[in-house]
Every structure is written in C-alpha cells, then in structure tokens.
C-alpha cells in the first residue's frame, strides 16, 4: 500500500470522525479486516499527523487577535481581512472542522 493510499484512507476516517466518532472506529475495524494491523497503524499515524497540521492551522487563525477571541470570531475577522488561513473551516454541529485536509 502506498503512502498516498494511506493518506487517502486517513482523510476519509478523519472526515467520518468529524461527523461521528463511531463511524471512524467502524472504518478502522474494516481497514484492519481488509488490510491488517500494519496498515491500521499507518492510517492512525497519518491521522495524527493530519491532526497536528489542523492544530497548527487553527492556532494560526488566532494570530494578531486578543487572547479572549473565540474561534468563530477569529475566523470571521480573518475572513473579513481576506486571510487565506481562515479558508476551509466549517462548523459541523458544535465543532469546527477543516473541509480540506492535507
């Protein structure tokens, strides 16, 4: 299995997790059945890498704003400024998710 295929699987599992964590767990179980433990570990590692990237991107949204600014307000301010860092974030239920993943 290629790194690209693992990244694609991780992206799909992340999107499922954003919607419902139970779906992500079911997907990981299916990947385990279809491809084995080694691939599941690789997918989980890629999910962690993508999560770290999302964290860095989320923190960049707050750059230059006061410490009491909410994420929603920070996104609105950055979007109004035309800042590309605010692109791709969407509210899913009570949480924000990146609509485009690395």
The model's confidence at residue 99, banded by pLDDT at 50, 70 and 90, is low
28-57 pLDDT, tens digit per residue, is: 999 999 999 999 999 999 999 998 988 898
pTM beyond 0.85, yes or no: no
Give the sign of the dihedral formed by CA 28, CA 34, CA 39, CA 41: positive
pLDDT higher for 10 or 102?
Answer: 10
Q: Where are the domains of the chain?
A: 3-87
């Amino acid at each position: 299995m290629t790194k690209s295929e693992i990244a694609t699987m991780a992206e799909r599992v992340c999107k499922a997790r954003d919607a419902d964590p139970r779906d992500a767990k079911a997907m990981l179980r299916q990947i385990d059945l279809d491809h084995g433990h080694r691939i599941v570990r690789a997918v989980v590692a890629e999910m962690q890498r993508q999560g770290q990237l999302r964290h860095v991107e989320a923190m960049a949204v707050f750059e230059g704003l006061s410490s009491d600014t909410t994420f929603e307000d920070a996104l609105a301010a950055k979007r109004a400024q035309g800042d590309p860092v605010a692109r791709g974030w969407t509210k899913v239920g009570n949480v924000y998710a990146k609509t485009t993943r690395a």
